[in-house]
Amino acid sequence: MDLKLNERLAATRKAASEGSLNLGRTVLTYWAVATLVGVLVLWDWIGAWNVPATLQVPGLPIYLVLTFAFSQVLYVLVARYNGRPIHWGATVLFALGNGIAETLAFGVVYRLGEIIGAGLIGLFAPSIASFAGFLLGVVCFIVYGGLIHSLFWLPLLPPHLDDSPRSRQIRKLRPIAEVALVIGWSLCFWLTRDLWTVVFFHIVVDIGLMLKVRPPIFGAPRSR
């Protein structure tokens, strides 16, 4: 009897370990592709340090902090870790890796939208071409962000959103908070070509995810 129990426990641990390894490989592949494309498309942004310029834009730093705080408060209220312990190594690795790589992906889709929008509108209304590029960049950013989270992250991560009636009401506000966040990050891209302020905020967002969700990734256990 004990032998069978031990075999079942060993099989469970093996499956959990393999699941964590596969999850890590999938995320690393996503990061690698995002980084490669980001370096090719955003080389000039990567090599520039425009954080001081962003800090000097009237109202933008305050807007960035407020929208970040709003989105994180809503997330903290509905996210659950279901008994999984904190793993600091996985937290640091995920926050830095995803904060940099996925921000590059965000920057790429924003920039492509901006180029297309400005180019098309510039053919007949040059005076508003830049703003039109910004708007299409924001739209592309929102669409990509929604798709990558709904089709990639939500299926990949363990179930972590509370489904109580109170939480469902709170979750209705999250799309508004996320759009507000995207607008602020896109303003950094548009006004100052500042990639690194967005990287900073994305890293902090991902630290919050790792503390509240604690996915079994990069050596983090599935449960206590």
Q: Please report whether residue 154 resides in a domain.
A: yes
Distance of alpha carbon 202 from alpha carbon 36, whole angstroms: 19
Q: Please report whether residue 133 resides in a domain.
A: yes
What pLDDT sits at residue 180?
97
What are 187-218's pLDDT values in tens digits?
A: 999 999 999 999 999 999 999 999 999 998 98
Q: Please report whether residue 116 resides in a domain.
A: yes
Residues 6 or more apart whose CB falls under 8 angstroms from that of 39 comprise 46, 104
Percent of the chain predicted with pLDDT > 90: 75
Q: Please report whether residue 192 resides in a domain.
A: yes
For helices 60-78 and 196-212, angle between their N-to-C axes, nearest 10 degrees: 20
Q: Which residue has the higher pLDDT, 82 or 140?
A: 140
Q: Please report whether residue 121 resides in a domain.
A: yes
Please report which confidence band the pLDDT of residue 2 belongs to, taking 50, 70 and 90 as the band edges.
very low
Q: Please report whether residue 142 resides in a domain.
A: yes
Q: What is the mean pLDDT of residues 153-164?
A: 88
This model's pTM is above 0.75 = yes
For residue 160, the enclosing domain spans 2-212
Beta bridge partners of 79: 161
Please report which confidence band the pLDDT of residue 222 belongs to, taking 50, 70 and 90 as the band edges.
confident
Low-confidence winner among 62-71, 99-108, 121-130, 161-170 (lowest mean pLDDT): 161-170
Q: Please report whether residue 218 resides in a domain.
A: no
Residues 6 or more apart whose CB falls under 8 angstroms from that of 129 comprise 117, 118, 119, 121, 122
Distance of alpha carbon 209 from alpha carbon 199, whole angstroms: 15
What pLDDT sits at residue 224?
59
CA–CA distances in Å: residue 49 to residues 44, 55, 199, 201: 10, 12, 12, 15
Q: Please report whether residue 23 resides in a domain.
A: yes
In total, how many domains does the chain have?
1
